[in-house]
Structure 1
């Protein structure tokens, strides 16, 4: 409203000046008898063209100063601004209110609010509302910053350029300040702490800033400093809250993981105790029977053979449990050793599958082995790799209901980047599958799917469980061969039976000729 009124009065004043000047020259021409009218009009036109622009400029300045000065009430403006920004908590809104106030009060061209960050020996002033703009680095010992901090009053660019106080300032620092393209630098300080700089551009009228305007700018900067400090504290509080929330989430997850590990260890102790106790009980039971038969003198050959076979089976199961524990200990202490030699993958798979033929027949499961005979040899410890695939076949048997199928397939993969050849062998079942959240955890130590109460000592029963160490050992063995093992499954469902796949990737054996060519 004030700007429109000012423009209207300025326009009327210009027309008045033009009318008065034209009337003056016409009157002079009519009253003159000695000088031709054309000369008077020509000279008047030249004089008018030389004087009219300065007169119009002066008139506009006079009107704006008188009109706007009469309308301004700095105390009221400052009070309203203070109330407006008192509850603000974001920088963008704060700058918006500050910009509106200064534009309306002074009709200035540009305003910048730069926030200060302590960078050791320098302050970095950054326009946060324009992150792409280059930050301004100014030394803490800068004469300009020290002056602003000590006097707590705005600094005019004119004073910086020509004032004696800044005669010794370096041209580099002057150019840095000039790059801000402001007429006035207003410090934003909170208890001598640098929070930022308020850069005020020139007025559209071209007029200078008067003393009362300078005082008003500093008062505005002081109010802005309080609001800016509150904004910084609020942002810091939000950041700390977000960090606390993140830490709480991580702590909760860690506690859950610790609880899971604790339960897994407890389950392992229970399972291991059960696994160890069962063969020991069998051995002790058969031993008692033998003792009673020897005392009675009645020892039939068939009973003797049956008890010896039971003792042997129990002792073998006991040996397997102890071997698993020893393997885990070796993997953890990194003393696990392998003795690789060239071997055909088909040989490894046949040896691993042969152990489970009776279980496959008992459960009426069909094992399909295909695409292995043409695979290149791998450099592997045969005994250890048989252990790996034996574990995978056993898992497939326990995950698959009776009268279904298990598949073992192989293929050759070439790494186009290195040119190396790999052999990938996949053990697939048609069983209950694996949940997405368990797909990685099944390779962790002690981890077992399902409740420990569902554990069965049977090696091959459907949904039977074990100590939860077999896949951990399998992964350790494969990785010791510079290979990789992973699982895939659409999910776990005992009705639809989506199945699961276990992949083992091993480097193919490189012959001496190939190695020679590579060298």
Structure 2
């Protein structure tokens, strides 16, 4: 081919590179500054090569000095542009100090331009020397700066994929520099071809995310060469030499010899070569595991683990045994639906370093979260640094991944949910994770799903149990404090109140003769208030005694009907004052009971008093009592306000009332009446129950064993509301 044909071919190649890269960069969504800088570089190279065509035609072939100077300016200008491309490729932050080489090269290029367009009065030879010196000096400075920045970046990174990327760039720099050198010293086109190859290599590593691992290619070539040599030696030792010693060639035809060699090759040589290949593949290329065996052993190790920390330790330990990694961590992923975020929290492993292990929150729209939810595929730190899909990460999120110093991230996902993340460091050998490695690790991550779900469930149950125990402990402490407070307050108030009661009794007996009607009325009100206060204090003391287990029943044999009549006699007056109809129905039969008469009287009083308080004037109250073979049952019905369904379960609690009105609460008491009823009935081995309907009324019942608390009731609480006497003698709740 002629020089003109070579130059035209190279120029066409540059045009194709420019067009191809311009379209590919936009389609792949590359980093904008890098892609634009490389497109400009390819465009300048294309323009320079097209300009060179003019100097190989017959018309301009005599201007070789001018062509050489143009070549010098081409080399220097492209070197400057390639240095700018290197800044963006190597992700170097440009500062004044780091731009010194670029500035010096630009200054020398400007001198060359001045000398080219405005020749000085210096001698031609001196001018040529000055021009060449400026161009050569500028090129060497820029080339040295580019090589220095590439080597510095290579030393700064430690992950295999990042280093492989730097190796490609370093090779591109060397090839382009060597091509430029040849272009300046020789008149052929080999330098142009090398420059073209170097640019293609640089474009390849910019465009292709998963560039071929040059280190593995070299190792594989060495291993194949070793296998070839070993195979040849085995062939000679196993086939040719034994057959020659046996004299096969002396008494056999050529076909027989080849048949024997083929049989020996299949039965002896081929198995030996396969064995050697597998061993070299394991030792040299790093594949020292059997996939099916690894999957089986991992499943056996983690499938039955229910402790989250043990699971993390065993899983990471097994991965380390298989792949020999520098470190590994397990993160739990909790989806917070209301906040639309994922919360990643590290699982602590005893003895493992926790440097950099801080929890992090990702929004649903975070690029990492979207990648995991959409693909459920692993990703690497290399992907985070260079793939366009992860470009939306914030600076804080990128810093979080960087400080982990990890190489590979393995999501652990169910069919619909992201539940965990394995964070793995680089291999100790310095080699990268291969596609086979990542596929196997993905399988192990999928096997971890069931174990991680079980461990999380156990952990949640344990945490809930601990929280419940802590809450119960706090409640017990508060309850004890409340009981102590009630005990202290009531005992401190009892003495002065007793003095007031005594003074009121003296006043009522001897001091009423000289009082006016209004004063007598006020005295009666004060007396009622003092009695009410005394009842409250007595209730508080009794309540505190039950809470502190200080109540001792004083049981005796008595007629329950007599006790009921005794309690209801003063209560009937209270009901009449409120215009309530109070009726008593007692079934015929033996009403003898072994119990604490005083405490049962308190329980009856509070049940009836509660009905009177919460029944409006004109209402009705029925009290029923009946005996069975084993128990005395009591029923109190009213047509009062009723109890809201959501408060039925809390009315037996201390200081609880169905009415939440704080103003009425003081009028209706402390809310201890029903609580004391339950305490007293339970102390007798009995049961309490309630039915209520808002706006209709309520039924309160209790039952106690007839023969003392030592023989508790065998009937269930449901029996209290299904008794023939109740259904016949007492009206329904309506």
Would you say same fold, with TM above 0.5? no
Higher CA-based Rg: 2
- Please report the TM-score for the alignment, with normalisation by the length of structure 1: 0.43
Which structure shows the bigger proportion of residues in helix conformation?
Answer: 2
- Please report the TM-score for the alignment, with normalisation by the length of structure 2: 0.32
